[in-house]
Structure 1
């Protein structure tokens, strides 16, 4: 009787094991995305074109791999639509006949943080005409931006930052769908072309850390047709008056240049301006008293400004106010007490405004309106009036 029970138990265990194994197999098969065999062969051929380092995602690319790291296949057609080879140890061994260019359905390509400098390889990038996003940042690109990129008319995102591009800004006016362009940390020089501001979809542009010196076209019309939301011009060689600002602007950073004259009143037009950084320039006159109430950062340090108006009555979003190293005279404005979110206030190296009369009135204000500043910077060697 005992033997019979053990036999029945063994059969039951075997049955449940088979059911579990079959269930796991079916689940695995169902969860595997469809991959066209020719796409896998192309991946393996591409992998053979460079030496995979320890941190390269390509090390996982084998014919029967369950997952291909950094690769996305279309769930219906099985074609490769995304390649993320960031830091993949690619180098100048890649040529114009690379297997990469057989991925005709590729929409996303990230080749950042590699050592790519092959002109023949870069010249063929225009063959990937379905690309939406291309990241070539932090490579060894030298000279001009490859003209083939202008053929990628579907691009919405292009990052060429942190290379050694040393020509003028390339002709990219065919990229009418481009919404984000990063050319920062290169050696670009000359004028910023007028057509750049006319790209209809461009909302984010970074030209920081180059040697650009001026804007093509009239100062009042530079941004006339622009839809820019974010503009970064830090550390260039710009000088003269600052152009008129579009109403769409939210982040305006133009520090470390040589802009002169008064801060343009057009900065009062954007109602959602959140960050304004004009530090380390040569602006003079007064801070405009009509700046957006939505500002969170106002950085005007290291200029030649002489007046800070009483303009902060509705600036409850302001977190950083830096007007240090200017020529501002008089007392600080009473309206600063309304800046209930203010965390950093820098007024050092100005003239005669150590005295902050609002602090003397805090005791009479309701507790909910107390001004709490985490860091106040001012020069104690200045006398007050």
Structure 2
């Protein structure tokens, strides 16, 4: 008898195990299958990624679709164009009828001026929404504010091609962002390229209630004025915000200054204020432990010696195209730095040995300044460099820079000296020598 019961128990456990391996998972509901197929009918699928989406089959087994295995309801639709690259007109309304949806990702596709419909507020369980860089246009509906469980929201319309260039992939706009106030669980919020010009300086009050916000990206949004006069409305963010990107905003005809209250954002690790037409001095960053600081293309001036010291985590520093005119401090202490660009300023004096001690550098830009003297021999130890822009150099000093692909030596005041027999150890994709005095 004991053996009999043991066999029954073993059989039951084996059956449960098979169910846990999805053999007994519930199939998707017919209504949800029809909704997903309605979405499929409006998109182009040149790579055939959706060819298994067929009537009469279990949509819970379709690629890009995830279901609750117990009750067979769709909880996730992940069609990010990094893998799918869909086109056509996205019928969002069909997907938004999936009432148990928690995750929706349509980013990086090529939808033709698709709009975000008001029904976006229907799947109230939605926690993750990414519609970025997919061609969505028109007004952002206020119904987004109904998605109070959202922890991630990406609506960006621009794609960064490089530090200085980007590609526009849509034209979303809104004349108010009050719907943000109710999304109190948001951690990352990306609105790059969304036209926010109509809301002016009121953007800060709209995000002030997002106490868990760690990443805020509002680049190229037409914000002006860019900074609120006081920090009171943003005080709730100061302890948690790690990444802040406000690049490409402001108005160069009415330049603003970097507000001192940013020093209170002690959790900041990334700050991008490039292309904002800012003027005046850079406030001290001593209270911040930054990993990235981008001030490219402004009109900033004054002493920046503190930027080069006591930032052990800083890996990216761009002061490119400003009006800084001092000498580089001798006591540079940036052990983690991989990207340094000081080009397009009025820095003077010599290129110091301290730069040559930044052994992790992969990008070094010093061109279009007023440097003089010889490049230090120790620069040849920067074996990780792949981009090098110098005002002048004795080329033999580059023989150990085997990874260099971009070398710019243009418009300098010194002579380039190299012997006819010199055989460089690197293979360049780009070499700039315009305006040089080439010697031998």
TM range (shorter): 0.7 to 0.9
Q: 1:136/1:93 Cα in 2 relative to 1: closer, same or farther (>3 Å)?
A: closer
Q: Deviations over 1:240-262 (max 9, x none)?
A: 11122243211111211111112
Deviates more, 1:49-58 or 1:319-328: 49-58
Q: How do 1:204-223 residues align onto structure 2 when only pairs under 5 Å count?
A: 204-211=243-250, 213-215=255-257, 217-218=259-260, 221-223=261-263
Match of 2:357 among 314, 319, 322: 314
Instruction: Give the SS at the match of 2:256.
Output: strand
Q: RMSD of the alignment, in Å? A: 3.8
Distance in structure 1 (CA, Å) of the matches to 2:214 and 2:27:
31
Distance in structure 2 (CA, Å) of the matches to 1:317 and 1:293:
8
Q: Deviations over 1:315-363 (max 9, x none)?
A: 2112222110001122223442443333433222xxxx5457x939x8x
Aligned residues, how many? 340
Q: Deviations over 1:64-86 (max 9, x none)?
A: 53445654444567432111123
User: Contact 1:183 / 1:208 at 8 angstroms: preserved in 2?
Assistant: yes
Match of 1:126 among 134, 145, 156: 145
Instruction: Give the SS at the match of 1:283.
Output: coil
In the TM superposition, what is the alpha-carbon distance from 1:55 to its structure 2 partner?
4.2
Q: How do 1:142-157 residues align onto structure 2 when only pairs under 5 Å count?
A: 142-157=173-188
Aligned to 1:168: 200
Where in structure 2 are there 5+ consecutive unaligned residues?
Answer: 1-14, 74-99, 158-169, 417-440
In the TM superposition, what is the alpha-carbon distance from 1:92 to its structure 2 partner?
6.8
Aligned to 1:294: 336
Match of 1:101 among 99, 112, 121: 121
Q: 1:41/1:145 Cα in 2 relative to 1: closer, same or farther (>3 Å)?
A: farther
Deviates more, 1:190-199 or 1:295-304: 190-199
Deviates more, 1:136-145 or 1:146-155: 136-145
Deviates more, 1:194-203 or 1:176-185: 194-203
Deviates more, 1:298-307 or 1:240-249: 240-249
Q: TM-score, normalised by structure 2?
A: 0.66
Aligned to 1:231: 271
Instruction: Give the SS at the match of 2:379.
Output: helix
Match of 1:52 among 15, 19, 42: 42
Q: 1:186/1:33 Cα in 2 relative to 1: closer, same or farther (>3 Å)?
A: farther
Match of 2:385 among 331, 339, 342: 342
Q: Is structure 2 residue 315 aligned with structure 1 residue 274? A: yes
Aligned to 1:179: 214
Distance in structure 1 (CA, Å) of the matches to 2:24 and 2:138:
36
Q: TM-score, normalised by structure 1?
A: 0.74
Match of 2:105 among 84, 90, 114: 84
User: Contact 2:309 / 2:333 at 8 angstroms: preserved in 1?
Assistant: yes
Instruction: Give the SS at the match of 1:164.
Output: coil
Deviates more, 1:101-110 or 1:374-383: 374-383
Distance in structure 2 (CA, Å) of the matches to 1:91 and 1:32:
41
Q: Which has the larger radius of gyration?
A: 1
Q: 1:372/1:89 Cα in 2 relative to 1: closer, same or farther (>3 Å)?
A: closer
Where in structure 1 are there 5+ consecutive unaligned residues?
Answer: 1-22, 363-369
Instruction: Give the SS at the match of 1:192.
Output: coil
Aligned to 1:15: none
Q: Deviations over 1:133-164 (max 9, x none)?
A: 11112243224352112211111111111222
Q: 1:319/1:115 Cα in 2 relative to 1: closer, same or farther (>3 Å)?
A: closer
Instruction: Give the SS at the match of 2:283.
Output: coil
Distance in structure 1 (CA, Å) of the matches to 2:42 and 2:113:
10
User: Contact 1:354 / 1:378 at 8 angstroms: preserved in 2?
Assistant: yes
Q: How do 1:57-68 residues align onto structure 2 when only pairs under 5 Å count?
A: 60=53, 65-67=59-61
In the TM superposition, what is the alpha-carbon distance from 1:277 to its structure 2 partner?
0.9
